[in-house]
Structure 1
């Protein structure tokens, strides 16, 4: 029998109802909000269930309630990912900025911050974020590719090619993306011999 004063089993039951798409879930959410508005683990758990169900806006509400009580790196990452998915890039960037303030050595957080800055055409800010991602996780080839693209867009072609070369040396299957970026951009280079380009980048 569920205790009326214990939040954990009630949040668990609500999560189960949400997973099943039960009509009772909505009423129970309202009851939990009235009775346990500051139960961070409970709201985070419901947010995860809603995110997995593809209900991004509802998940954000739950994550926001949890973060207001107990901010964490994972909550900031979850919020940032959903906000970027919804096209709300400035809000997503703010979440990833919070994430890197909580865990400055996490390369993925810096990479996602770089994506938001690149979306906003903040080339310098994006380059800084991608470079920091690589400093934290040298094997993050995607960060090297994106660093190359923002440097290229900024007209810094020699530096861009260094970043592209790092990407190709780290993970060979990035070459296709690198070749396309380098040869199709107005600020790129025309290479007819892609084999030579691969050798040039691989150093």
Structure 2
């Protein structure tokens, strides 16, 4: 990972310290060309941490335009998602996945951002891609189950939940809760029978 250029690093440090000189330093950085992806990312993360969401989004968008790596796109996406900017976060995760097709994290976060945006088909595709890259990723299996369940595909949901239950100790409890409490789901009075059904799924 490259280091941000000195003016960006200084500005981010001033912002985090609450130094009054940060305003002038930020103004100077905003007047610079958009070439330093790490610099814009550092500023965006610092501003996001201070709750200055609009300024953070501007800097993160510049980081994405200058991005030379999947890592920059991922980090920008995480910061944007933290700001509640689901569409921009999703675009950042898609960029990260395009730059690094083997990135499980990019696929998983793309699924989460799609789910945030209510795109169940997009979320299912991204979680399935994450699982194809890492078949042991229980969290992706659980999320895929919830998405399939919301789509009304209870067979597909049970299959994903069964996988999660086999991968992690708390997977069964989380799957059972989701399967029985969501608006589209199933009522299982016998948890032993549910466990056996998920084991076979």
Task: Give the shorter-chain TM-score range.
Answer: 0.7 to 0.9
Task: Tell me how many residue pairs correspond in the alignment.
Answer: 197
CA distance in 2, matches of 1:57, 1:198: 47
Conservation of the 8 A alpha-carbon contact between 1:152 and 1:160: yes
Conservation of the 8 A alpha-carbon contact between 1:130 and 1:147: yes
Equivalences for residues 16-27 of structure 1 within 5 A: 16-27=13-24
Quote the offset at 1:8 in angstroms.
3.5
Q: What residue in structure 2 maps to residue 167 of structure 1?
A: 164
Q: What residue in structure 2 maps to residue 123 of structure 1?
A: 120
Quote the offset at 1:175 in angstroms.
2.0
Quote the offset at 1:37 in angstroms.
4.7
Q: TM-score, normalised by structure 1?
A: 0.83
* Structure with the greater alpha carbon radius of gyration: 1
Quote the offset at 1:54 in angstroms.
4.7
Conservation of the 8 A alpha-carbon contact between 2:64 and 2:76: no
Summarize the Cα distance change of 1:71–1:149 in structure 2 as closer, same or farther, 3 Å threshold: same
Q: What residue in structure 1 maps to residue 88 of structure 2?
A: 91
Conservation of the 8 A alpha-carbon contact between 1:117 and 1:126: yes
CA distance in 2, matches of 1:96, 1:35: 26
Quote the offset at 1:39 in angstroms.
3.1
Conservation of the 8 A alpha-carbon contact between 1:63 and 1:75: no
Conservation of the 8 A alpha-carbon contact between 2:145 and 2:157: yes
34-43 vs 66-75, which deviates more?
A: 34-43
Unaligned ranges ≥5, structure 1? 1-6
Quote the offset at 1:173 in angstroms.
0.9
Unaligned ranges ≥5, structure 2? none
1:73 aligns with 2:70: yes
CA distance in 2, matches of 1:120, 1:37: 28
CA distance in 2, matches of 1:61, 1:117: 22
Conservation of the 8 A alpha-carbon contact between 1:73 and 1:99: yes
CA distance in 1, matches of 2:52, 2:84: 15
Q: What residue in structure 2 maps to residue 14 of structure 1?
A: 11
Equivalences for residues 102-181 of structure 1 within 5 A: 102-181=99-178
